[in-house]
Amino acid sequence: MSDAVVTVGPVAHGGHCVARLDGQVVFVRHALPGEVVEIRVTERSKRFLRADAVQVLEPSPDRVTPPCPLAGPGLCGGCDFQHVSEEGQLTLLTDVVREQLQRLAGLDWDGRVEAVGPLLDWRTRVVWSVAENGMAGLRRHRSHDVIPVESCPIAHPDIPDVSRQLWDEPRVETIASSTGQRLLVTDASIEDDLEAQVDGVVASDGTVRAGTGTLVEEVRGRRFSVSGSGFWQVHPAAATTLVEAVLAGADVRPDDRVLDLYAGAGLFSAFLAEACAPGELVSVEGNRRASADARGNLAELPNASIVHAPVERALRRGLLGARADVVVLDPPRTGAKEAVPAIAALEPRRIVYVACDPAALARDLATFATLGYRLESLRGFALFPMTHHVECVAVLARA
């Protein structure tokens, strides 16, 4: 099929917009709702097509010139919305969250996704793919092809530079911490290996302290140790933004029993433990490296305990007790489908659900509704500028 002209419809979850070509649904990247564009089909299936907008005939008022020369059809797949103004990006993210909540959970949300600047220079953790020639770069959209990248506009300026040498690893991860440390992990493909090879922490003066594989992050005056390439929020403002939203939504009281599920290195756990003291905080994490980090990060909090087990297994086996006053959960992108019934069975007063995927969140909110919990409030945060990713904090109470 040769290139064709279409009128672009609404944004869809996943970084593209919906159009129709000869009656068939087309998911179009690099376009905006309302635009008339020339598209080039990149993938075909029986149910839909995927395409790139290769020429804009009638642009949207929200269209801008991408700050990155690699943001465009057939190039780097790291960003979705570099061609969209900041307000336009917030509108797209808001529309996606609203549509997912309505379609999957029957909920009408009248909020708006909140901006969390900056738009550029924000990504403090970047995993670079390595091409066959040893050059580090980022993958083409929906491809294993590696696009060489000398400079990424959304990458934090303090992360180590990987463009000046050849690599013999499949992936290289670069990290800049909020306390000024820089880490380069050359075995980032081993996500849950405590023995992952770490080149070292590079101090602000450029020297390398070999053999050091732990970074220190600081949030609201409290410090957290995070091992190697362990999970931590990638936007510099994300940790503080989410902690404040979680604490406001949880409304923890002294003497409460609080569960922090999928707790990672204990970011929420530390502040929840302080809020519920002298009550009990249980921090639950299945990843052994993150659980070990949490044990150290919460060591000074006598009312905090650590459970190292997958959340679903811990709930199923009764390892977390029979009741809780407040439950906070921050599951992976797939959501908490298997855990939702067991969480509701604890009959918490409040449930705070932190979600990085609005579709999984909406699905789980629908299940919570059948178990007696209503959505009390929801906030969305643009913690991944230039991309389709959005973080939500949903607060549920018993109906």
Known binding residues for S-adenosyl-L-methionine: 233, 262, 285, 330
Sequence-distant (6+) residues with CB within 8 A of 127 are 171, 172, 173, 188, 229
Annotated binding site: 233, 262, 285, 330
110 CB burial (10 A radius; 0-12, 13-18, 19+): exposed
Phi–psi pair at 36, nearest 5 degrees: -105, 120
Q: Provide the 8-state DSSP code for 123.
A: B
Given a contact cutoff of 8 angstroms between Cβ atoms, the answer to whether 220 and 274 are in contact is no
- Nearest CA among 170, 146, 173 for reference residue 160: 173
Tokens 């594989």 belong to: 213
CA 3/CA 41 separation, integer angstroms: 7
Catalytic residues: 356
DSSP secondary structure of 93-111: HHHHHHHHHHHHH------
Cα 67 from chain centre: 22
Tell me the two tokens of residue 53: 């907008």
- Write out the two tokens for 323: 């009741």
Q: Which residues of 195-205 are buried (b: 16+ CB within 10 A; e: fewer)?
A: ebebbbbbeee
Cα 105 from Cα 335, distance rounded (Å): 14
3-state secondary structure (DSSP) of residue 88: helix
Q: Which residues of 214-228 are buried (b: 16+ CB within 10 A; e: fewer)?
A: bbebebeeeebbbbb
Name the residue type at position 374. Answer: R
Which of 131, 130, 133, 96 is closest to 111 using CA atoms? 96
